[in-house]
Structure 1
Amino acid sequence: MLTFLFVVLLVLLLASVPIYVALGLSSFAAVALFSDINPMILIQRLFGGLDQFALMALPFFILAANIMDVGGLSTRILKWARALVGHVTGGVAMTTQVSSMLFGALSGSSPATVIAIGKIMYPELTRKEYNPSFSSGLLASAGAISLIIPPSITLIIFGSVTGVSVGSLFIAGIGAGLIYGLSSICYIYFYARKNKLPRDKRASAKEFGKATKDAFWALLIPVIILGGIYSGIFTPTEAAGVSAVYALFVSVVIYREMSWKSLYETLLESARTTAQVLVLVAAAQVLGWILTREGLPQQIAAFITANIESTILFLLLINIVLLVLGMFMEGVAAITILAPLIFTTAVSMGIDPVHLGVIMIANLAIGMYTPPFGINIFVTQTISKLNMVQMLPGLTRFFAVNVVALLIITYIPESSLFLVHLLE
């Protein structure tokens, strides 16, 4: 049955069938043709896969991200970042990277980060004589950090699939996200210095103070989310609701950039995005249940235990598999399928569950801009108007520096876990 399931799944994916259809159709076909399982059980699994408390955070974080974009929070974040680092060598590119890290900490959505930051910063990068390929690679890779920096939708999915604390995953994501971002910042500095690219005039204390004042309410959001979770005021799921309400209050009352019409359109867009993510999660949960029922995770665990004794080699294997998979599959789908297969074996080998989650998400973040199907590539193309061949040199360079960051995250666990241990 599993052979038929994987063949059908692969054929459907290669035929560009929507992923949720490919997952669901291959699962139902395999069960109907090769087992005596009542198909109603699969329907129950579809709904059961969504009946998880952690998943309640998804629609609220998605709504919060969309409100922030429409309500002017992203623009103020960007101006603050430019006042902070714009005068440094590579300052305009660093502004793009830092703004993406900050907006990722507000939204948790990679494509939303690329659009929100890219539509403002790409014209600025080209005006400052940055190569279009470099600029496109920067936008695509910088946006991917939203998968790592909390509140990350993908971290929530990992927590819901494996039972690992979402709060601990969020805290670990801070350290991992900083390493990921710093790897790009280092490359940006040397690239700009080598090419003698112009930089902004240093912002005066008055200008920086004004930018900080304007962005103050937006910068408070990650403080509220993470501070509230670890002070025990609310759970990660409740934090999602708080962030959405807070973003709406700031957009409507303080910044006054969101009308009732734009709020209505934002609600509709958030509902569509939520539906797309959750139907994918439900379909993947059905596939995961079939694989578990057929004993595939146990077979993989037995094979690895018999053939791979080194944790270092096991982690390297995970990275290779996830980097390849990330070229073809979106992060949420990859996590819902692979996490249950890898989790038990990894824990049995002494790998911290939170560390495993961060490693998987860091891999899939790189996959967001890896050809041929990295979604950030296509989102960036709507801004830069470059084709994939033109973008490839820039994508390759950022891929290389981010893989270095991935190896640090993988083989130095404290790089992401130190904050978790500090707050225990």
Structure 2
Amino acid sequence: MSHLTSETLAAHAPPANALDGLASTLSALSHSVDRGLGKVVETITAVLVVAEIIVLFAGVVSRYVFHEPLTWSDELASIMFLWLSMLGAVVALRRGEHMRMTALVNNTRPHTRALLDTMATTASLAFLVLVLLPSYQYAYEESFIVTPALEINNAWRAAAIPVGMGLMIIVALLRLLRVSSFKQIAIALAGTAAVVLAFWLAQPLLVPLGKANLIIFFVLVVAANVLSGVPIAFSFALATFGYLALTTQTPLVVMVGRLDEGMSHLILLAVPLFVFLGALIEMTGMAKAMIRFLASLLGHVRGGLSYVLIGAIYLVSGISGSKIADMAAIAPVLFPEMQKRGAKPGELVALLSATGAQTETIPPSIVLITLGSVTGVSIAALFTGGLLPAVVLGAALCSVVWWRYRHEDLSAVERHSKIQIGKLLVVALPAIVLPFVIRAAVIEGIATATEVSTIGIVYSALAGLLLYRQFAWRRLMPMLVETASLTGAIIFIVGCATAMAWGLTQSGFSQDLAHLMGSLPGGAYGFLAVSIVAFIVLGSVLEGIPAIVLFGPLLFPIARMVGVHEVHYAMVVILAMGIGLFAPPFGVGYYGACAVSKVDPADGIKHIWGYFGALLLGLILVAAVPWFSIGLLKH
């Protein structure tokens, strides 16, 4: 080798940065493939959202106007909805929008946080790979079924599950190449594979443990995944898959069937439609018109704009059903003026979070719709019963506002004349009427809780085009994609939580829980007290919808057994869950409020406890006086 020159050696040696070059090439390629795939999937989901609106609204018009119901509309909507949910889950995974608990992950060092984020993706990928074959088998078995109305092969609907799982595998791999280094990917894949292998090898030890496996999988595994930042849906799915595969003889295709069942409740179709409606009322200026009218009424009162915030969230929640959409519609309009009057940013975000918890029961709340779908409680009864409990909590918040702002200086605040208030009322009236139109349409039987959102969408679109003259066509596509992503994230959680709840039920856990809860001292009020504490904790850790889907079917039969009206119980647990959801340090709703308000979360924490103390007192009053929840129901 001595005859070779240094130049010759250099020419034949691999470049020092060969690995970096390969990584750069793969990253660029993954970005290109990801953009192309993302555009295709997002376009399909946007078309599906529009198609759902058209099909369901056509069903309303055909039945109510022409008295000739479309027998196939619900079936077609259901088929499209499963595709929308699965492809929406793909979009959410690609955009990193699946719900996850990041409070602990965000407090780690940047290098550790990046590795945990990579492991969250590989853990999700592990489930998708493991469940791909059972999901294909499930779709194949469904091919022997013919749908009753359209008379087509049911595989057209069921194929959404394996197709969605397969696309999520591709998206997860592309995401790893895009956002993680080779070293992080290698460590995360090795760690995930080691955990999966360890559980598989431990199967002979797990089987004899019996119900102790419930603690191992549904407490320890779920907690470990959730706290390490794995999306909540995948945390539930991994625990359920592991429990069924390693400790029971249940065919895994049954789990896919339960996931399909959870995602296929027709009432859940209201989720994407109300999410889109929320975005629509913000885009058309309807929300801004309502807020300006309320501000003209109360702007001259001490703490007046805080009262406006409470009232505006109440009204907008009655339209959109999405808390982030509510906050995004109101905060940019009210906060600048409130800051001019001396309100601190932390005080504003604290009140905004508290109103989010207060309005969880206002129809058409997505949580109400979800709860009704998984427990069988009447949606119309929940819509009626949810109005007064939110008023009770709103009054409690107003008392804190009065105390905090009793010495506010209003010398520089202009008071609106009656003529000005009247003009603003005329402008806001079409927007103010919308929540009442939605509620009346459900109560009077014009449309179902699923269909009524399409009436709101058509109404809002016409109001934006003809009355407010504010309709940004260029924003429609992003709104539709955002709707699909949020829908996929929510419905995939519902499906995975339904499978997990089924696993718990089959194990006999529900009977044990019923016996334990039914034997609590204090009867109905003892049961309500324990439920309040449990759902505040569950709401802060699991977020609202997973907590409701997982424990609603287990606890509502117990509530009926101990003599608690199901609508009353629904209001209590939803409000308790909302308090947990919007309470720091774990409640993700609080961080959503901070993000919308562009306020540092640390600034709001010291201001929030007075409001949450008021919310707790209001919740106790709602729990103690059932009339607030059931007084408006038709008996």
Normalized against structure 2, the TM-score is what?
A: 0.64
- 1:10 shift after superposition: 0.8
Q: Which residue, 449, 456, 467 being the options, matches 1:236?
A: 449
Q: Which residue, 161, 173, 184 being the options, matches 2:386?
A: 173
For 1:227 and 1:355, the matched residues in 2 are separated by: 21
Q: Is the 8 A contact 2:278 2:325 kept in 1?
A: yes
Deviations 1:96-122 (A, max 9, x none): 111111111111111211222112222
Q: Is the 8 A contact 1:179 1:405 kept in 2?
A: yes
- C-alpha change, 1:266 and 1:253, in structure 2 (3 Å) is farther
Q: Which residue, 585, 608, 618 being the options, matches 1:372?
A: 585
Match of 2:492 in 1: 279
2:367 maps to a residue whose letter is T
- 1:146 shift after superposition: 3.7
| Structure 1 gap segments, 5+ residues each | none
Structure 1 position 116 matched with structure 2 position 323: no
Matched position secondary structure for 1:129: coil
Structure 1 position 409 matched with structure 2 position 600: no
- 1:254 shift after superposition: 2.3
2:256 maps to a residue whose letter is I
Matched position secondary structure for 1:279: helix
Match of 1:25 in 2: 238
Q: Is the 8 A contact 2:520 2:526 kept in 1?
A: no
Q: How does 1:348-367 map to 2 (within 5 A)?
A: 348-367=561-580
Structure 1 position 216 matched with structure 2 position 459: no
- 1:388 shift after superposition: 3.1
Match of 2:363 in 1: 150
2:439 maps to a residue whose letter is L
Match of 1:90 in 2: 303
For 1:385 and 1:269, the matched residues in 2 are separated by: 20
Q: Which residue, 473, 482, 492 being the options, matches 1:269?
A: 482
For 2:467 and 2:323, the matched residues in 1 are separated by: 26
Q: Is the 8 A contact 2:303 2:408 kept in 1?
A: no
For 2:577 and 2:520, the matched residues in 1 are separated by: 26
1:65 maps to a residue whose letter is G
- 1:331 shift after superposition: 0.7
For 1:200 and 1:293, the matched residues in 2 are separated by: 63
Deviations 1:256-289 (A, max 9, x none): 2123221222112111111111111111111111
- 1:200 shift after superposition: 4.0
For 1:325 and 1:265, the matched residues in 2 are separated by: 32
2:515 maps to a residue whose letter is A
- 1:311 shift after superposition: 1.6
- 1:396 shift after superposition: 0.9
- 1:158 shift after superposition: 0.7
Higher mean C-alpha displacement, 223-232 vs 158-167 = 223-232
- 1:199 shift after superposition: 7.8
2:285 maps to a residue whose letter is G
- 1:383 shift after superposition: 4.6
Q: Is the 8 A contact 2:319 2:364 kept in 1?
A: yes
For 2:412 and 2:365, the matched residues in 1 are separated by: 32
Match of 1:130 in 2: 343
- C-alpha change, 1:76 and 1:166, in structure 2 (3 Å) is same
For 1:146 and 1:247, the matched residues in 2 are separated by: 22
2:318 maps to a residue whose letter is A
2:383 maps to a residue whose letter is F
- 1:419 shift after superposition: 1.1
- 1:53 shift after superposition: 2.3
| Structure 2 gap segments, 5+ residues each | 1-212
Higher mean C-alpha displacement, 191-200 vs 312-321 = 191-200
- 1:133 shift after superposition: 2.2
- 1:386 shift after superposition: 3.9
Q: Which residue, 217, 240, 252 being the options, matches 1:5?
A: 217
Q: Is the 8 A contact 1:148 1:365 kept in 2?
A: no
Deviations 1:202-255 (A, max 9, x none): 321111111111111111111111111222222211212211222222223322
Moved over 6 A (4+): none
Structure (1 or 2) with the larger CA radius of gyration: 2
Match of 2:182 in 1: none
Match of 2:172 in 1: none
- 1:343 shift after superposition: 0.9
For 2:509 and 2:469, the matched residues in 1 are separated by: 54
- 1:143 shift after superposition: 2.8
Q: Is the 8 A contact 1:297 1:341 kept in 2?
A: yes
Higher mean C-alpha displacement, 125-134 vs 209-218 = 125-134
1:35 maps to a residue whose letter is T
1:301 maps to a residue whose letter is A
Deviations 1:323-363 (A, max 9, x none): 12222221111100111121111110010001111111111
Deviations 1:349-387 (A, max 9, x none): 010001111111111221232112222321232254443
For 1:333 and 1:389, the matched residues in 2 are separated by: 27
Match of 1:192 in 2: 405
Match of 1:204 in 2: 417
Matched position secondary structure for 2:541: coil
1:3 maps to a residue whose letter is I
For 1:418 and 1:229, the matched residues in 2 are separated by: 18
Q: Is the 8 A contact 1:329 1:373 kept in 2?
A: no
For 1:392 and 1:130, the matched residues in 2 are separated by: 15
- C-alpha change, 1:406 and 1:200, in structure 2 (3 Å) is farther
Q: Is the 8 A contact 2:324 2:596 kept in 1?
A: no
Matched position secondary structure for 1:419: coil
Length, aligned pairs only = 422
- 1:86 shift after superposition: 1.5
Q: Is the 8 A contact 1:176 1:415 kept in 2?
A: yes
Q: Is the 8 A contact 1:55 1:160 kept in 2?
A: yes
For 1:364 and 1:122, the matched residues in 2 are separated by: 26
Q: Is the 8 A contact 1:175 1:417 kept in 2?
A: no
- 1:197 shift after superposition: 6.2
Q: Is the 8 A contact 1:106 1:151 kept in 2?
A: yes
- 1:196 shift after superposition: 4.7
Structure 1 position 65 matched with structure 2 position 275: no
Q: Which residue, 260, 277, 298 being the options, matches 2:511?
A: 298
For 2:551 and 2:261, the matched residues in 1 are separated by: 19
For 1:48 and 1:321, the matched residues in 2 are separated by: 26
Deviations 1:3-51 (A, max 9, x none): 2212111100010111111011111111111111100011111111122
Q: Larger relative CO (CA 8 A, sep 6+): 1 or 2?
A: 1
Match of 1:246 in 2: 459
Higher mean C-alpha displacement, 187-196 vs 12-21 = 187-196
Q: Is the 8 A contact 2:494 2:545 kept in 1?
A: yes
- C-alpha change, 1:396 and 1:326, in structure 2 (3 Å) is same
Normalized against structure 1, the TM-score is what?
A: 0.95
- 1:72 shift after superposition: 0.9
2:305 maps to a residue whose letter is V
- C-alpha change, 1:146 and 1:305, in structure 2 (3 Å) is closer
Q: Is the 8 A contact 1:47 1:282 kept in 2?
A: yes
Q: Is the 8 A contact 1:369 1:395 kept in 2?
A: no
